[in-house]
Amino acid sequence: MKDKTIKISNLARIEGEGALFVKIKGDAVVDVRLEIFEPPRFFEALLRGRAFGEAPDITARICGICPVAYQMSAVHAMENAFGVEVDGPLRALRRLIYCGEWIESHTLHVYLLHAPDYLGYADALRMAKDHPGIVERGLQLKKAGNEIIRLMGGREVHPINVRVGGFYKVPTKSELAPVAERLRWAREAALETVRWTATLPVPEFDQDYEFVGLRHPFEYPFNEGRLISNRGLNISVREYEDSFVEEQIPHSHALHSRFKNRGAYLVGPIARYSLNFDRLSPIAQEAARAAGLSAVCRNPFRSIVVRSVEILQACDEAIRIIDGYERPTRPAVPIRPRAGTGYGCTEAPRGILYHRYRVDDAGVIQEAKIVPPTSQNQKMIEDDLRRFVQANINLPKEKLGLQCEQTIRNYDPCISCATHFLRLHYDRE
């Protein structure tokens, strides 16, 4: 058997810039590296000395695809530091804008980034030549998500209306009505999306993951909950750093998160789904069952179906929130800063996003820590790649390379998110 090296210098259809390097000797995989050459931007450092109220606007700039997730984790962490609870309609509106981001981000991934892999296209624009109706449905579904963000946040990318304590302005019932109308269409389109993704060809690749995600007493998790896993983890958000550690590894050029005592874990749609199937709305559970999913999904190539189920969940939840909405009397809870440390963790589309801030008595940030989902998944992506290549080692190099790319895209990795990923040494061929 010949030695081979698979090297993809510029990974496409992911957010941010990365490369893949796989080395095979004989019939064994000897090296797998997901390389990240996104330049570091030092957010945790530049947050020092900023006012607490600036955290949602600054951290949104970490990621143009999931800015709402950053804003949500930031405001929850600050409110935690100041001992403030935001509930009632303001809490519901936060869930609503998060639904918008899940719909927009997941639909972008399902239709424009991931589906072309299953159908053998270089991109969705080429796919649209043969499947115009499918791509058009994807774009309109994505637009429905963006319309929620646009109304609730002012614009799709880096929305401006989220603040510590609530919002700057809250919508009226009549402003929300046309959004709900469109969401009723979107819910049907999401249902079609689940049915369609269930027909895409998927390799057998069940893995024995430790899933980590939020768990809420009665909701499918967005903003709150305890951190749990399928192997007994059950902690509050403030205990996150007791269980997980970030490591700087020279060969992988990025901070990897792992359990302090047991290595890699998985966050994101299939983890969230497998930990919270019983919290999905009836329509989402039914669609998942009809698509052939069981209550636990261990095959990352089926993440496209799980993401579609979550789009459906988010559409359904958004409609429920709008239907039950009563405009609150004030757009935000008053905030009085005090010295302390606050913790926040919410479910970004790609998985749990942890923020911790230490602020002084004037509310000025003294220290910030942010752990995005992609740096938590990076170790698992490499583990998946190693096992996938080993199991398919006889495939021709080009085909194997393509499937490696798909293995990475299963995670919808967001390299821009990884605030503290390193510059790596890599040679561009």
Partner 1 sequence: MGQGRKPKMAVWKFASCDGCQLSLLDCEDELLKIADRVQIAHFLEASRAVVKGPYDLSLVEGSITTPSDAVRIQEVRRASKFLVTIGACATAGGIQALRNFQDVKEFISIVYARPEYIQTLNTSTPIADHVSVDFELQGCPIDKRQLVEVISAFLHGRKPNTLSHSVCVECKLRGNVCVMVAHGTPCLGPVTHAGCGAICPSYDRGCYGCFGPKETPNTSSLSRWWGRLGVGEQDLVRVFRGVNAFAEAFRKESEAHERQNDQDQ
Please choose, out of 141-149, 235-243, 272-280, 371-379, the segment that lies near partner 1 by the rule CB under 8 A. Answer: 141-149
* C-alpha dihedral, 425 to 241 to 370 to 358, nearest 10°: -130
- Under the binding rule (CB under 8 A), the answer on residue 359 touching partner 1 is no
As a whole number of angstroms, the distance between CA 254 and CA 405 comes to 19
Q: Distances from the Cα of 32 to the Cαs of 3, 257, 288, 351, in angstroms?
A: 14, 17, 33, 23
Closest CA to 378 of 121, 16, 5: 16
Q: Token digits for 303?
A: 């993440």
Minimum Å distance from CB 44 to partner 1?
5
Print the binding letters for residues 273-302 with partner 1: x by CB under 8 A, - otherwise: ------------------------------
Q: Count CB atoms within 10 A of the CB of residue 28.
A: 12
Element (H, E) at 182: helix 173-198
Report residue 119: phi and psi, to 5°.
-105, 0
Which one of 12, 30, 290, 391 is in contact with partner 1 (CB under 8 A)?
Answer: 12
64 is a contact residue toward partner 1 (CB under 8 A): yes
Asked if 253 touches partner 1 (CB under 8 A), the answer is yes
Q: Which residues contact 427 (CB under 8 A, 6 or more apart)?
A: none
Q: Which of 156, 382, 384, 412 binds partner 1 (CB under 8 A)?
A: 156
Q: Is 74 in the site for partner 1 (CB under 8 A)?
A: no
Site string for partner 1, 96-125 (x = CB under 8 A): ------------x---xx--------xxxx
Contact between 306 and 273 (Cβ < 8 Å):
yes
The reply on whether position 250 binds partner 1 by CB under 8 A is yes
The single residue among 7, 23, 126, 258 that binds partner 1, judged by CB under 8 A, is 126
The stretch among 82-90, 183-191, 228-236, 412-420 that binds partner 1 (CB under 8 A) is 412-420
Q: How far is CA 33 from CA 6, 368, 403, in A?
A: 10, 29, 15
> Is 62 an interacting residue with respect to partner 1 (CB under 8 A)?
yes
Q: Is 135 in the site for partner 1 (CB under 8 A)?
A: yes
Measure the CA–CA gap between 360 and 356, rounded to whole angstroms: 14
Kindly state whether residue 160 participates in binding partner 1, applying the rule CB under 8 A.
Answer: yes
Q: What's the closest the beta carbon of residue 315 comes to partner 1, in angstroms? A: 16
Q: How far is CA 4 from CA 36, 289, 397, 429, in A?
A: 22, 41, 8, 16
Please state the closest distance from residue 250 (CB atom) to partner 1, in A. Answer: 6
Q: Which stretch binds partner 1 (CB under 8 A): 152-160, 186-194, 204-212, 340-348?
A: 152-160
Q: Is 142 in the site for partner 1 (CB under 8 A)?
A: yes
3-class state of residue 144 by DSSP: helix
20, 24, 44, 74: which one binds partner 1 (CB under 8 A): 44
In angstroms, the CA 394 to CA 400 distance is 9
Q: Of 20, 128, 186, 400, which lies in the binding site for partner 1, with binding defined by CB under 8 A?
A: 128
Helix (H, G, I), strand (E, B) or coil at 332: strand
Contact string (CB under 8 A) for partner 1, positions 24-43, x = contact:
--------------xxxxxx
Q: First-to-last CA distance in the chain? A: 25
CA distance 316 to 186: 9
Beta carbon nearer to partner 1, 250 or 396: 250
Does residue number 185 form part of the binding site for partner 1 (CB under 8 A)? Answer: no
Tell whether residue 419 is a contact of partner 1 (CB under 8 A): yes
Half-sphere exposure of 365 (CA within 13 A, CB side): 26
Give the torsion through C-alpha atoms of 157, 160, 166, 169, to 10 deg.
Answer: -120
Which residues ranging from 228 to 247 are in contact with partner 1 (CB under 8 A)?
none
| Size of the chain, expressed as the number of residues it contains | 429
Q: Could you tell me which stretch among 89-97, 163-171, 179-187, 380-388 binds partner 1 (CB under 8 A)?
A: 163-171
Should residue 189 be labelled a site residue for partner 1 when binding is judged by CB under 8 A? no
The pair phi, psi for residue 260, each rounded to 5°, is: -60, -35
List residues near partner 1 by CB under 8 A: 10-17, 38-46, 48, 50-51, 54, 57-58, 61-65, 67, 108, 112-113, 122-126, 128, 132, 135-136, 139-140, 142-143, 146, 154-158, 160-161, 167-169, 248, 250, 253, 255, 331, 405, 414, 416, 419-420, 422-423
